[in-house]
Chains A and B, each alone.
Chain A
Amino acid sequence: MTDHFRRDADSAARGLNRIGEADRRSAVRRYGGLPAPGSRVPDMGPRPEYSAEAEERILGGCGLMGVCDESGGRMSGELAVRSMASMHDRGNGLGGGFAGYGIYPDFPHAFCFHMLYTDDASKDDTEYYLARHFVVLHHEPIPTRPVRGIQDEPILWRYFLEITDQRLAETQLSAEDYVVHAVMDINAHINGAFVASSGRNMGAFKGVGFPEEIGQFYRLDEYQGWTWTGHGRFPTNTPGWWGGAHPFCLLDYSIVHNGEISSYGINQRYLEGFGYNCTLRTDTEVVTYLFDLMLRRHGLPVEIACKALASPFWKDIDLMPDDQRKLYSALRMVYGPALLNGPFAVVLGMGEGMVALNDRIKLRPLVAARNGSTVYVASEESAIREICAKPERSWMPRAGEPVVARLAEGVNPAASRSGEAFEVAASPAAVA
């Protein structure tokens, strides 16, 4: 970041932490703030119709990519933009986006909220909400440059947030759960405000346009990150909402997704039981929340979570050795409602690295490659060769076989999952 982006940061932050504007208070009271400790389904009042993009869920095809240097070497965001540009025809200009990790070395432990606002009122409401629930270390507009083809951009702002120990003690929540509650509150209850990303040392840059235009617009060439994911969208209707573009993010998890989740109905109802509100009219949202649930709250290793989300077939499970059969049977029995069915390729960006996954019968394209410590994935091999002409190895991942890139120990100190103990502490046997 340059000094230009930090202008007036201190004075604005002080303003944000001031509480007591009477005209805003009533609005926040209606949202109810963070839920009471221990409540399983957040008590957040009636959910408003969320139709910023469309009345209906959006379907569509897409192109995607991901790159991760396991050694922690940082790459310019320009790399991801160039890779996506080669897959121009996989999108139709109605959505493009990127997620970068390791891009905020000045605030490696702060939760960074990338916000999209339709108007000043939604920004004011959100800032009041954030000031009430967080310590705002720093905030600033997300830097952009004018690009032909990009229009009607929302107000784009980012906030680097901390939570006081006292607030965590009061709510009896882990920092991660606290953030999740806040994200759900804002997305569900502050009209015109949308949290594009909420992780540590990462951010999502997305909007309406072709991915290369979006990358230009957000000046991604000025960022350096150890993991990048990108997405170009081909929705089958004509919305114009920036929040509808990929990646979809929660905490450190970001998802870019090509495909459709035909099991959306039950995935959504399953997630609601764990307090997630699916209000964004896109099936990609459930993928993000399922990873958050299984990795962070249930503490499952990512390879195992992938085997639950795109599970092996019974005919194969039946042939496994005893202990494996027991494991995979249990995963299907317990996580049946989480099974992602239908055609998809997803790339999950996370604090620990990157994971790419295909559906259980590989109905959408996904190619992977490795060169040294860097792992590449993309919808098309050309998108990989565009940024790495001769990888040591390239391959087609099999259906349901995750491609995992794991950052070396110590690259991202914020990646330790402190929320893990929250759910696991309760013994599964103690539910009688």
Chain B
Amino acid sequence: MAELTFVRPEFRVRIDRETCIKCGRCVHQCGWSVYHLDEEGRPIPDHAKCAACHRCVTFCPTDSITIEKNPLAYKDSDSMSPAHRKAIWRQAETGGVLLTGMGNDRPYLRIFDHLLLDACQVTNPSIDPLREPMELRTFLGRKPDFVQVAMGDNGSGPRLLTELDPQLKLETPIMFGGMSFGSVSLNVHRALAMAAKESGTYMNTGEGGLHADLEPYQDHIIVQCASGRFGVHADYLQAGAAVEIKIGQGAKPGIGGHLPGEKIDEQVSTTRMIPQGTDALSPAPHHDIYSIEDLRQLIYAIKEATGYKPVSVKIAAVHNVAAIASGVVRAGADIVYLDGFRGGTGAAPTVIRDHVGIPIEIAIAVVDQRLRDEGIRNRASIVAAGGIRSSADVAKAIALGADACGIGTPVLVAMGCHVCQKCHTGCCSWGITTQRPELTRRLDPEWGAERVSNLVRAWSHEVAEILGALGVNAIESLRGSRERLRALGLDESTMRILGVKPAGVGH
């Protein structure tokens, strides 16, 4: 008998039969196989398969398709919501862990939306970014406590006596978060590499190794070393501008990366150095890091292997993040990459994605303050990621204390992602989180690079506008300047932790 399921379709695909010209494009475009043509050539949808990714809607030449929420009513219960009921039914059917993609979609408090920025009026002038220089250049890496300078004698200028550690130079305080080749397509990686070069920033390989095609862009690539060590070898470590040790990820703290075998084709297999078609399951911890001193050994092993390039350590924002970050900095990391609980993922257990970790806003605030309290804030840069949605979020994150922001989901959205949260299925109609060749070829890397570069340029202009309104002309004057933030509708303890005063209180 056909499988009985209580889980009714989430969406309904409505086709205007009067305007449909039966071209069949929807059938071809859908990565989820929603459509088939009946004997008269009319597209017939299978509502249950629809992810609301809008690929068919976008490409229908007569605008005949729309997607609606299934209006099916459920008996009201604030406690046992329809979502809870559906999850239980699914698990009763399968006995499995529910999987999902993208970031936490639960309606937790969005702190960024409760923070407001300052502006100048009368007593100090605002600065016009269209007429005056506005500087966003950011250097990530360890800085000394102070520098020593020798004043030149007999005509020679002053000289720097202090040797600085190598730094990553960003023309704007925005970089791309780690997304592995395998979870995303090679064309996505190509687009990100080109966009990073164009924007003067960095892409991050994620844990899937570095495809040979990307070598020309290696000055703008951070290579990641995660617990699975996929694609990690000496040349790989040396290929990047910096190396990132991924301890955790905001979407799934405490869990390793999961890449289903369906997404492991020949190219992914070669790059990752694993057999085709096998699941790539990264262990939850690094099997050579069971404590902070082990991390220190790995950091310095990587530094030795790379001629002392900057080493970033990516950790998920969890309850004890301040103390952990302090340990990471003391272990020798040049960059601490904090990933908040709204960060995206290619695949994660829904229960972990939705219930583990803390907001990035809180993590930035407590880590920045802890490092300052310990007098080691200058020893490492803080990159904040996992929940950055706009240039306003970037500015607020920097005001809270981040040096730069990492963005993953926004760059995918720029390239067509509609946040349908089905990355783990490998059926992405937009050719982003899939390895099916008929789908991946839909994303032209140059087109994608242009879209992403545009996004970075637009956000950078907007951050510059914010700086101008604040009356400062360099990003370092906003960094950690919580005095320029006010909270609206946050409780006392959250404001204390953020180090932000309520709106209405002056300087």
Contact = CB atoms under 8 A, between A and B. Distances in A.
Interface of A: 40-41, 55-57, 59-61, 236, 259-260, 262-266, 268-270, 272-273, 281, 294, 297-301, 303-304, 311, 313-315, 323-324, 326-327, 330-337, 339, 341-343, 360-361, 363, 423-424, 426, 428-429, 431-432
Contact of A330 (B151, B160, B481): B160
Interface size class for chain B?
A: 35 or more
B158 A330 contact: no
B139 A361 contact: no
B56 to A, nearest CB: 47
A326 B160 contact: yes
A313 B135 contact: yes
B478 to A, nearest CB: 8
A187 B164 CA distance: 37
B373 A304 contact: no
A242 B127 CA distance: 33
B120 A262 contact: yes
A40 B127 CA distance: 37
A330 B120 CA distance: 30
B149 A262 contact: no
B149 A332 contact: no
14 contacts: A56-B506, A61-B123, A260-B124, A263-B478, A272-B372, A281-B507, A298-B146, A301-B149, A330-B162, A333-B164, A333-B167, A337-B480, A342-B471, A428-B144
* Of B144, B332, B484, most A-chain CB atoms within 10 Å: B144
Given A265-B482, A268-B483, A315-B133, A332 B158 contact: no
B397 to A, nearest CB: 14
Contacts of A299: 148
Interface in B472-500: 472-474, 476-484
B476 A334 contact: no
Nearest to B171: A314
Contacts of B120: 262
B164 A330 contact: yes
Contact of A313 (B122, B127, B133, B377): B133
B145 interface: yes
A311 B472 CA distance: 13
B372 A332 contact: no
Contacts of A266: 476-481, 483
Nearest to A265: B483
Contact of B123 (A60, A324, A326): A60
Contacts of A260: 123-124, 471
A59 B125 CA distance: 12
Nearest to B376: A431
B456 interface: no
Contacts of A326: 160
A269 B480 contact: yes
A424 B479 CA distance: 26
A341 B160 contact: no
Contacts of A301: 149, 151, 158
Contacts of A313: 133, 135
Interface string B144-163: 11111101000001111011
B378 interface: yes
A114 to B, nearest CB: 27
A262 B124 contact: yes
Contact of A263 (B158, B373, B481): B481
B158 A262 contact: no
Given A330-B147, A330-B164, A428-B144, A264 B483 contact: yes
A294 B479 CA distance: 20
B133 A343 contact: no
B477 A339 contact: yes
B472 to A, nearest CB: 4
Nearest to A363: B125
A420 to B, nearest CB: 11
A337 B151 CA distance: 23
Given A40-B375, A269-B480, A342-B124, A428 B160 contact: no
Contacts of A262: 120, 124, 470-472, 477
B473 A323 contact: no
A336 to B, nearest CB: 3
Listed from nearest, the 5 A-B pairs whose CB atoms lie closest are A265-B483, A336-B476, A57-B507, A265-B481, A428-B144
Given A269-B372, A327-B159, A332 B146 contact: no
Contacts of B470: 262
B435 to A, nearest CB: 41
Contacts of A363: 125
Given A262-B472, A431-B379, A59 B479 contact: no
A238 to B, nearest CB: 14
Nearest to A293: B146
Given A265-B483, A304-B158, A341-B474, A428 B137 contact: no
Contacts of A60: 123
Contacts of A264: 481, 483, 507
B149 A304 contact: yes
A258 B507 CA distance: 18
B132 interface: yes
Nearest to B135: A314
A275 B139 CA distance: 26
B451 interface: no
B372 A327 contact: no
Contacts of B482: 265, 269
Nearest to A259: B124
B246 interface: no
Contact of B372 (A59, A273, A333): A273
A262 B471 CA distance: 6
B263 interface: no
Given A264-B483, A428-B145, 6 more contacts: A266-B477, A266-B481, A327-B160, A341-B473, A343-B124, A423-B145
Given A60-B123, A428-B144, A360 B481 contact: no
